[in-house]
Amino acid sequence: MTGGAGFIGSHLVERLLSSGHNVDVLDSFQTGSRDYLSGGIRLLIEQDVSEPFGGRYSGIFHLACPASPVHYQATPLETFRTAVWGTSQVLENARRTGARVVIASTSEVYGNPLVHPQTEEYFGNVNPIGLRSCYDEGKRGGETLAMDYARVHGVDSRIVRIFNTYGPRMLFNDGRVVSNFCHQALLGKPLTVYGDGSQTRSFCFVSDMVEGLVRAMDVPVFESPVNLGNPEEYTVLELARMILELLEVDLEIRFLPLPSDDPARRKPDISKARNLLAWEPRIPVREGILKTIQEFRTRLARHGA
């Protein structure tokens, strides 16, 4: 698994190990953490995924890439190289060895969508030269490679488009709305809402996302791409108020200018995932937010915050 020390990746590694699989992890630790690496992994390959790597595998989960605006905008060249050239290295390994590949793409390929909810047939509305384009267009390029390797070389490459995912082990400083609000509220700070808070997001708990990824690898027949996410839609302001209510605190909500190319609405159509994978999210958002708050609180106490 590439990116196996990251937020989603580390949960997926644990799931695979608990199912009796042998797992090797490749991670550069740009955003991943050794703290979340399970002791049961067979091999840790510490390198950039954009460099060639060996090994023979029955399946490769390709999750490596900074996925939050804070991190990918800080390293745009590295992000684009990881999303495109890193995906090429993964697909080259699969071509040589016959491995099946699940490639973690993103809802950001839809950009600021003009179609709602977003279906896999929608081509997106993406700014190719903006601050977010290193990630958005990088992931679109990775999808192109995956499909061309399938057509030209017969690689079994499976694209999943991951929508907003949250849960324990999110980085405090990753700039995503759930981690921002939970972290700020636990520290007693104002919650920062960009724009007027009317933009919408759909939040999928990490264990549900892991289940979707596992099913994407396991099903005999797959039709790329497939959306994975929670179709239950919330405004950012609704999420902020929910977190304050769950924590039973009364904190200021501070409004800041909206970042460029920030999508106004984001909601997956998961009909394809339901039909192809027999998958849909199971964890209610309020329950998942509580689990996230509890883990954040424990981690903050451990760090003396």
Q: Which residues are catalytic?
A: 135
**7-21, 45-59, 120-134, 252-266: which has the minimum mean pLDDT?**
252-266
pLDDT digit string (tens) for 183-229? 999 999 999 999 999 999 999 999 999 999 999 999 999 999 999 99
For 98-132, where are the alpha helices, taking DSSP H only? Answer: none
Q: Flag whether pLDDT at 284 surpasses 80.
A: yes
What would the DSSP string read from start to end of 172-202? TTS--HHHHHHHHHHTTPPEEEETTS--EEE
pLDDT at 260: 80
pLDDT in tens, 244-270: 999 999 999 999 998 887 888 999 999
Q: How sure is the predictor about 104, in pLDDT bands with cuts at 50, 70 and 90?
A: very high
Question: Domains, the chain, ranges and CATH?
Answer: 7-302 (3.40.50.720)
Measured between alpha carbons, how far is residue 19 from residues 10, 30, 40, 130, 277 in Å? 14, 28, 12, 42, 18
Query: Mean of the per-residue pLDDT values for the chain?
Result: 95
- 68 pLDDT band, cuts 50/70/90, is confident
Are the CB atoms for 198 and 134 separated by under 8 Å? no
For position 305, what pLDDT does the model report?
59
Element of type H or E holding 255: strand 253-256
pTM exceeding 0.85: yes
